Structure 1
């Protein structure tokens, strides 16, 4: 992925920041159908890959997680697409060892807790993949557990 920081060869002014690129794509998500959203989320995940710790923390605040929660609640985004985005964000958070509590203060965290609890409570027809995905998102986005694992 090519980053648009600055063209050092001819001194051009920098292009849009990674945060701006991510925000622009995120703001447009609700206007796409599920498959188009998936494609846009894949683009967003590429942007996340290029973010440093400061950029990641400036994007992934409680407000963003709350907006994702609202979009899922209002059926403007599927839970599958939300997990696709959040799982990658959590992976990058852990990989970059970012300390951030934005997820902990969000409605999305509470939604994940409720979904995990309800899925585990089922006697039959548990969706094990869903439980694993939810737990992976939850753990990777909560607190700073990664520094203890390294």
Structure 2
């Protein structure tokens, strides 16, 4: 692009953004696979050069360059230097408070690009913490971001949690992730037309469904890393249950992600077992095991859920009152399984489950789902 003026470069980048937005995953891979490293390296060079100019009237060009670069998911040995430019640049673009459609689109693009900085990339707190916190708090007060923009802001922040456990209190207690995620999930669940096939959806309907899928991805990351228990996490699990019941029989991808989230919650203990039982999570997973279209991946996650709950219920305590509660809950849990006819079946897999996990890892064709459907 050296032969073009800066204005022409900006126009070309905008045109490229439009083309990339219209590509599906296969088309994107075909176009960029051959020249991927060269293209990523060139964007890095252009970003560094543009940042050094420090010209306020060309900030939009730097923003476009940063968004294009992150859309490539290309990370070289220079990623540390590039990230220190990209993150402040895009957070500044995402902090615009104007509410007209064009400004809102720019904010959404900036946050969506930031959410591509995955959990493996370390970003220093001074580059983002104040700004991302303010963006989230402003949204909580004014509700001016799109669903996708807000989800992208949270995904960027949750990914930072993987490298920095000091963020736990800010995310869970100051910014109330559980409450906010539950509210967004409930609203998106109402907005999605569950009876429509993907090809029948309008662009806006498809976007809402995509945002719901992305929220479930964010939840899995949060549940995996978070060790704080609070009532908002209970809200979150209840929202996942409601999504599953809306998606069951209509959307296999979302149904699977819901079961996976419940499995993760059962393992890492972000809520008590009693909340899984009372909030409908146990019933939901049992429903998942009874679907006529059940496949092995779903069944595997259902089994993991029950294995995880069972392990937690077997942990005895020295406190007499807590021990009595544990025994009573254990009784209720297995009564629930017995009502559905799964107690003996699940118990029989308890000791063998690690072996079964090894078989799945090797890709052996073990049709365990067919067995459970026929039990």
Does the TM-score normalized on the shorter chain lie above 0.5?
A: yes
Change (3 A) 1:21 1:137: farther
Change (3 A) 1:24 1:110: closer
Aligned mates of 1:21, 1:37 — CA distance in 2: 15
The aligned runs of 1:1-150 (5 Å cut-off) are 2-5=190-193, 11-13=202-204, 14=206, 15-17=208-210, 18-28=212-222, 30=226, 33-52=229-248, 54-55=252-253, 56-61=255-260, 65=263, 67-72=264-269, 76-83=270-277, 84=279, 86-94=281-289, 96-97=291-292, 98-99=294-295, 100-104=299-303, 106=304, 109=307, 112=310, 115=313, 125=324, 127-134=327-334, 136=336, 139=342, 147-148=373-374
Question: What TM-score results when the alignment is normalised by the length of structure 2?
Answer: 0.28
Aligned mates of 1:114, 1:25 — CA distance in 2: 21
Whichever of the two has the greater Rg, that structure is 2
Aligned mates of 1:82, 1:16 — CA distance in 2: 26
Give unpaired runs (5+ residues) of structure 1. 119-123
Higher relative contact order (Cα pairs below 8 Å, separated by 6+ residues): 1
Checking the alignment, whether the CA contact within 8 Å between 2:230 and 2:271 is kept in structure 1 is yes
Q: Deviations over 1:54-105 (max 9, x none)?
A: 22235434x862x334422xxx43222344363142143145343422233x
Change (3 A) 1:22 1:81: farther
Secondary structure in 2 matching 1:22: helix
Aligned mates of 1:112, 1:44 — CA distance in 2: 21
Checking the alignment, whether the CA contact within 8 Å between 1:90 and 1:137 is kept in structure 2 is no
